[in-house]
Amino acid sequence: MNTPDLPTLRSAFTPALLTLLLALLLAACSPDRHAAPSAETRSDAIAQAEAAAGQLMSTLVSALSQAMKEGGPTQAVEVCSSIAQQKTEEIGASFGLSIRRVALRARNDLDRPNTREEEILEKWSHTEGPIESLSEVITNEQGNAVLHYMRPILLGDNCVACHGPEEQIQPDVLAAIRAHYPNDRATGFQPGDLRGAISVEVPLDQP
């Protein structure tokens, strides 16, 4: 009987085996390895993100208007710079998600966008008419399945005191901004301009 010798066998099977192994490996490493969340999980996550973003906006707006009333814009700069990041973190922790404010022209370096946020902000900044909030299931930079939610922040009339054209900002306010934020890029905006966004990641992986 003429049985194939070992080298022949190896040469016949190795490419097929290698292909199979490669396919398995690719499947295991693919970014889509997370099972798609159910419609219910997804809508719960969107509701969480919206609630956290709403709470962040109202917290910051009321802290800002109270500080403006009490001490004017110069003192409000101090208040903003000391509480904005802390309040944002507290709200994220209480909802069990990650939340931040991001902007292409950020005042605080901590608010610089990641690649995905930057792409969305770029697209929004060229959008004519109203900008819709966005929610999408993604694998984030840490490799976790999350619902990513982004809500635009537009400039209002009352924001010009600190984000408007520099000639419209009181000199002492501008000095306070520059003292706190030497890299500030968040002036020169007009009411209605896209100022930035609230960006939320709601975890979807079950522990």
Q: How far apart are CA 176 and CA 46, in angstroms?
A: 37
Q: Is 195 an interacting residue with respect to ligand HEC (CB under 6 A)?
A: yes
The residue (of 119 and 157) whose beta carbon lies closer to ligand HEC is 157
Q: How far apart are CA 44 and CA 31, in angstroms?
A: 23
Among 4, 143, 156, 165, binds ligand HEC (CB under 6 A): 156
| Least distance to ligand HEC, CB of residue 14, Å | 56
Q: How far apart are CA 79 and CA 100, in angstroms?
A: 18
Q: Is 133 an interacting residue with respect to ligand HEC (CB under 6 A)?
A: no
Considering only residues 11-70, where is the footprint of ligand HEC by CB under 6 A?
Answer: 61, 64
Length of the chain, in residues = 207
For residues 84 and 173, the answer to whether their CB atoms sit within 8 Å is no
Q: How far apart are CA 171 and CA 155, in angstroms?
A: 21
Which positions ≥6 away from 107 have C-beta within 8 Å? 177, 181, 184, 185, 186
Q: Is 183 an interacting residue with respect to ligand HEC (CB under 6 A)?
A: no
Q: Is 201 an interacting residue with respect to ligand HEC (CB under 6 A)?
A: no
Among 49, 56, 77, 104, binds ligand HEC (CB under 6 A): 77
Contact positions vs ligand HEC (CB under 6 A): 61, 64, 73, 76-77, 80-81, 84-85, 101, 103, 106-108, 111, 153, 155-156, 158-159, 161-163, 186, 195-196
